[in-house]
Amino acid sequence: MDPKHRDRVAFLRVVSGHFEANMQVLHQRTGKPIRLAAPQQFMARDRVAIEEAWPGDVIGVMDRGNLRIGDTLGGDGKMEFQGIPRFAPEHFARAMPADPMKRKQFDQGLRQLTEEGAAQVFYAETSAGSQPIVGAVGQLQFDVMAFRLEYEYSAPCKFEKMSYRWPRWLTGPKADVERVATGLGRMKVYDHKGAIVVLFQDQWALRRALQHETAVQFHETAP
């Protein structure tokens, strides 16, 4: 809203009870109490500070990166909503900063845009270090990411499209997961939580793995 000041606002819908400004709630995902400071309501580009809200209201609270899409906040900690599922990406591209001197801004932008749900970022271990790989549902998301990185974070970037597709999250014995993730026609990457994801080069490689690799479980979205 203000190009000179990048604030982070999390939007919440009040489901039950009575919300009051600066109230302390339990963050169900982490189990930690947090204080919801500076609550606001928005109308286009205008924002108004509020003192209370009721079920059905949508409010914004200041966030320092603690909240994610699908989190549940509660006063008594007795209920947690099922998380909002994310669609599995269908296109992948290596992300590289156009200016190596802007690497810090580039990494920060990727992290924050991932938290917003603009796209999903994975990481591949290479001899040069961790290589970010952006996964998108549609090609337009790469254009949106490039635009926002350049104009919001001053970190222009380049995307190098990859032939790998069909991601699957793996669960099972650690040794089997590592073996399956590095087979022929496969690429091992990590999601933002550190979970192993394998990208398949073609549908034949995916079908073969599903038929023969019975020691692990394959998931189309993060379990």
pLDDT in tens, 38-80: 899 988 778 899 999 999 999 999 887 788 888 899 877 677 7
Domain that holds residue 56: 9-74
| Residue 118 located in a structural domain | yes
174 within 8 A of 151, measured Cβ to Cβ: no
CATH number at 100 reads: 3.30.70.3280
Q: What is the pTM of this model?
A: 0.74
Residues 119 and 70 in one domain: no
Report how far residue 132's alpha carbon sits from residue 212's, in angstroms, rounded to the nearest whole number: 30
pLDDT in tens, 11-47: 999 998 899 999 999 998 888 899 888 899 988 778 8
Residues 49 and 122 in one domain: no
Report how far residue 175's alpha carbon sits from residue 157's, in angstroms, rounded to the nearest whole number: 36
Residues 111 and 156 in one domain: yes
Percent of the chain at pLDDT exceeding 70: 95
Token readout for 134 is 């952006």
pLDDT in tens, 162-187: 999 899 999 999 999 999 998 888 99
At a CB cut-off of 8 Å and minimum separation 6, what does 3 contact?
none
Strands (E), the chain: 9-13, 19-20, 24-27, 32-35, 40-43, 46-49, 52-53, 58-62, 73-74, 91-97, 120-126, 129-136, 157-161, 165-171, 186-190, 196-200, 217-219
Report how far residue 138's alpha carbon sits from residue 153's, in angstroms, rounded to the nearest whole number: 23
Residues 57 and 150 in one domain: no
Mind giving me the DSSP string for 140-171? HHHHHHHHHHHHHHS--EEEEE-S-EEEEEEE
The SS3 call for residue 76 is coil
Residues 160 and 189 in one domain: yes
Residues 124 and 21 in one domain: no
Put residue 144 in one of left, alpha, beta given phi > 0 → left and psi -120 to 50 → alpha: alpha
76 within 8 A of 143, measured Cβ to Cβ: no
CATH number at 62 reads: 2.40.30.10
Residues 120 and 181 in one domain: yes
Residues 134 and 212 in one domain: yes
Residues 105 and 193 in one domain: yes
Number of structural domains found in the chain: 2
